[in-house]
Amino acid sequence: MKIKVGIIGATGYAGAELVRILLTHPMAEISAISSVSFEGKKLSEVYPSYKSLCDMECKTQDEAIEKCDVIFAALPHGLSQELAAQCDALGKAFIDLGADFRLESEDDYKEWYNGEFLDKELHKKAVYGLPELFRDDIKEKRVIANPGCYTTGAPLALAPAVKKGLVSTDGIIIDSKSGVTGAGRKPSQGSHYPELNEGFHAYKAGSHRHTPEIEQTLSRLSGKSVKITFVPHLLPVNRGILSTCYARINPGVTKEQIRKEYEEFYKDEFFIRLLSDGENADIHNIKYSNFCDISLHVDGRTNTLVAVSAIDNMVKGAAGQAIQNMNIIFGLDEKTGLVIVPPAF
């Protein structure tokens, strides 16, 4: 029997991407979709590319929850907690693509999102869904906090180095560049074509909301508090995030040791592609896929590890990873429905 899937927020970019991938998932079927902005409209009216593929009508949130085994919520922060509680009471799985359950500290959530935990016990049930790092926590759970895009690419680039003590956790710098789909479907001046095209700029330097989430993951891996400098940039492209991470190599650690530890750490991870020496991670090569490409570089003059990751922010950074989490909690092979070949050109 197939898993009955509901998507709340199906007309946003992440929601539409969930639909695109789930339409070919052999063990799941989309049973209901919901959209406050387009309630009563067919998804194919909002996205004509889905014509004859998904002509489902957008229903209410309650209708979506009632019909399904698992709910994906692709909503802005602050809108998922009550839905999660509703699903939890009904014994349904809830995978949140927003930020409401990502931070373990309510104080951090208040500081960075100006919100509060509405149900502290429910937050204790929630687990952080970055499979390659926390797979055992995810199995058979029912409330999953799906990581964001920056908070997937950067930690995956640094995880082996931090966990194995190859680098100092002081002074880590993460420089990330994202495609504009990360800003969501709602238009803004910053994503307006004449403003974006032929430009390239940093934004929210040192103050981006993903900072504490990245720090939380790296702290958990290293076993001590980690503070980072994080600066995101906006690329004039639709998809992709390239994260260039700088960390000082600990005394006595060699380039060969770094390579060996990364190979061992990720040897069984299908969606992590560790590139050979001399290769460079490139967002072109992971587009539309759930892969994370990682390239390693060492600046011998400054004894600095430069770890670079490339992901598709809408797939591994959102919808694909959410489906990977669904596969885990329902006991499926993680790759099910997610072996998507990136286009060659």
Residue 114 CB coordination number (10 Å): 9
Catalytic residue, from 58, 87, 149, 292: name it.
149
Contact between 73 and 98 (Cβ < 8 Å):
yes
Mention every residue, 6+ apart, whose C-beta is less than 8 A from residue 112. Answer: 103, 209, 211, 212
16: Cβ contacts below 8 Å, ≥ 6 apart:
10, 43, 46, 47, 50
Exposure string over 274-312, b if 16+ CB within 10 A, otherwise e? bbeeebebebebbbbbbbbbbbbbbeeeeebbbbbbbbb
For 175, the 3-state DSSP assignment is strand
Catalytic residue list contains 149: yes
C-alpha closest to that of 314 among 127, 134, 100, 74: 74
Q: CA 143, CA 124: separation in Å to the nearest integer?
A: 10
Distances (CA, A) of 57 to 28, 33, 182, 344: 18, 7, 25, 34
Q: Which sign does the torsion angle of CA 78, 83, 84, 89 carry?
A: positive
Q: What is the CA radius of gyration of the chain?
A: 20
Beta bridge partners of 95: 72, 144
| Pairwise CA distance, residues 167 & 246, whole Å | 10
Q: Which of 319, 308, 316 is nearest to 342 (CA)?
A: 316
Interatomic CA distance for residues 240 and 149, integer angstroms? 9
Q: Which residues are catalytic?
A: 149
